[in-house]
Amino acid sequence: MEEPSGLSSMKFFSDQHLSYADILLPHEARARIEVSVLNLLRILNSPDPAIFDLSLINRKRSNSCINQGVLTDVSYIFLSTSFTKSSLTNAKTAKAFVRVWKVMEICFQILLQEKRVTQRELFYKLLCDSPDYFSSQIEVNRTVQDVVALLRCSRYSLGIMASSRGLVAGRLFLQEPGKEAVDCSTCGSSGFAITGDLNLLDNTIMRSDARYIIIVEKHAIFHRLVEDRLFNHIPCVFITAKGYPDIATRFFVHRMSTTFPDLPILALVDWNPAGLAILCTFKFGSIGMGLEAYRYACNVKWIGLRGDDLNLIPEESLVPLKPKDSQIAKSLLSSKILQDNYRDELSLMVQTGKRAEIEALYCHGYDYLGKYIGTKIVQGRYI
């Protein structure tokens, strides 16, 4: 099912169907649910009744492909048209089959009430109404993704609340419809919180005179940089998702990249597999949320912390990799999407068995971070 990526890009993907999730308004999402139910009823009512299998877009790695941007620098993961079948007659998938319908039922009710629900609340409702089918939060989350895959609409469209952990600060003005513009350089050292409301983000007007967008992995580093007002020395905008990025923060970064296409997007992460994984999520998207991923992928470059910076930090700051790190490294290395220079960095981590945090640079003083970033930008040392 996998074609060599070189050949695919020559065909401009005309033969591969891109599966993606739409962002829908409540009545549109309800309509899709109604269509699914009507379909089921129609078939049950027909002279030759049968319960058809649910064809869900396969969310496994084998069905993920990479679109290597030919005309642009953006590559992203997307899920192709391979389906996995969830069948009522198959003992293994029977419960999964029913779970999908149960979730759709509740989402329909939520959408009718024009409300939103958190995944935890959804879990309790399902636990209460259908205790035989739902026993854990993970099952609920997976079923939600199944519904996303079936109806081809985003999780947010189903009425599930999206929270955002993202913060932004720097040379950026944000104007929500009907409100005054917010200056992100005067938001204090905590920055401005990015809303989880994707519709609102879509309609926010952005203005900036920055020259760079810098994504920061950790909250503490973000704080440091914003407190030092580094965006006044290097005209830029700082964004953090405080770890693994949520959809809203990625959406925000993506919007910035389309609004300001000439601004390089640079990522400042720890030198460890988890940091690189975070960078890759911004850059390519994720398989678990595959149908929504492509929308928010951006051309992110890795500015630090990198292998050639290790001579800047003391020996004691190089600590051993944790077992989880090794797992993440293995998973990343086996992915076909990873470019060679990233692969080399990962291999170095695995070979030496070490990792380092950005804070290690503080041994030169806590204002060293600003100089480090400035130097790297000026010398163009990002990959």
Partner 1 sequence: IFVADCAFLGFENTLQRDMEGKISSSEDTNLLQRIKEFTRLVIEDLAEGRSPKISINRFRNYCMNPEADCICSSDNPKGQEILTLKREPQTYRIDMLLRVLLIVQKLLQENRHASKRDIYYMHPSAFKAQSVVDRAIGDICILFHCSRYNLNVAFPVPVLVEEVEDIVSLAEYILVVEKETVFQRLANDMFCKLNRCIVITGRGYPDVSTRRFLRLLIEKLQLPVHCLVDCDPYGFEILATYRFGSMQMAYDIESLRAPDMKWLGAFPSDSEIYDVPKQCLLPLTEEDKKRTEALLLRCYLKREMPQWRYQQTSTSFCIYISYNSTKTSLDENNFGRLRLELETMLERGVKFEIEALSVHSLSFLSEVYIPSKICLEVTSP
d(CA 85, CA 95): 13
**CA-CA distance, 100 to 271, in Å (whole number)?**
40
Residue 24 and residue 32 in contact, taking contact as beta carbons nearer than 8 Å = yes
Residue number with CB closer to partner 1 (88 or 127): 127
Looking at 123, 192, 212, 372, which residue binds partner 1 (CB under 8 A)?
Answer: 123
Residue ranges in 352-371 that form contacts with partner 1 under rule CB under 8 A:
357, 359-363, 365-366
Instruction: Extract the tokens encoding 308.
Output: 């050639």
Instruction: Please identify, using beta-carbon distances, which residue of 83 and 124 lies nearer to partner 1.
Output: 124
Q: According to CB under 8 A, which one of 60, 85, 115, 207 is a site residue for partner 1?
A: 115
> Tokens representing 291?
């149908």
Q: Encoding tokens for residue 339?
A: 């470019």
**Which of these, 268, 274, 271, 270, lies nearest to 323 by C-alpha position?**
274
Q: Which of 189, 187, 185, 190 is nearest to 170 (CA)?
A: 185
Looking at 105, 121, 176, 183, which residue binds partner 1 (CB under 8 A)?
121
Q: Scanning residues 21 to 80, which ones bind partner 1 (CB under 8 A)?
A: none
Task: Note whether 6 binds partner 1 by CB under 8 A.
Answer: no
263 or 373: CB nearest partner 1: 373
Binding flag, residue 151, partner 1 (CB under 8 A): no
Distances (CA, A) of 72 to 66, 76, 137, 150, 347: 14, 11, 39, 30, 28
CB of 58 to partner 1, least distance (A): 30
| Residues with Cβ within 8 Å of residue 153, at least 6 apart in sequence | 21, 22, 23, 24, 28, 29, 32
Give the nearer residue to partner 1 in terms of CB position, either 54 or 239: 239
**Do the Cβ atoms of 269 and 35 come closer than 8 Å?**
no
148 vs 162, which CB is nearer to partner 1?
Answer: 162
Give least dist CB 119 to partner 1, A.
8
DSSP annotation of 30 reads H
- How far is residue 147's CA from residue 31's CA, in Å, rounded to a whole number? 14
Q: Which amino acid is at 3?
A: E
Pairing verdict, β 319-320 and 354-355: antiparallel
* Tokens 């993506």 belong to residue: 254
Q: Alpha carbon of 287 to those of 66, 78, 162, 280, 337: distances in Å? A: 11, 8, 18, 11, 12
Is residue 127 near partner 1 by the rule CB under 8 A? yes
Q: Indicate the residue among 125 and 306 with the shorter CB distance to partner 1.
A: 125
Min dist. Cβ of residue 127 to partner 1 (A): 5
Q: Which is nearer to partner 1, 65 or 158 (CB)?
A: 158
Q: How far is the CB of 188 from partner 1 (least distance, A)?
A: 6
Residue 124 catalytic? Answer: yes
Stretch binding partner 1 (CB under 8 A), from 63-71, 118-126, 276-284, 304-312: 118-126
Residue 152 gets the label, from left (phi > 0), alpha (psi -120 to 50) or beta, of left
x/- track of binding to partner 1 for residues 292-331 (CB under 8 A): ----------------------xxxx--------------
Nearest-Å Rg of the Cα atoms of the chain is: 23
Residues 187-226, one symbol each (x = binds partner 1 by CB under 8 A, - = not), give -xxx-----x-----------------------x--xx--
Residues that contact partner 1, how many (by CB under 8 A): 37
Indicate which residues carry an active-site annotation: 124
Q: Which residues would be at the binding site for partner 1 (CB under 8 A)? A: 110, 113, 115-118, 120-121, 123-125, 127-128, 131, 161, 163, 188-190, 196, 220, 223-224, 227-228, 314-317, 357, 359-363, 365-366
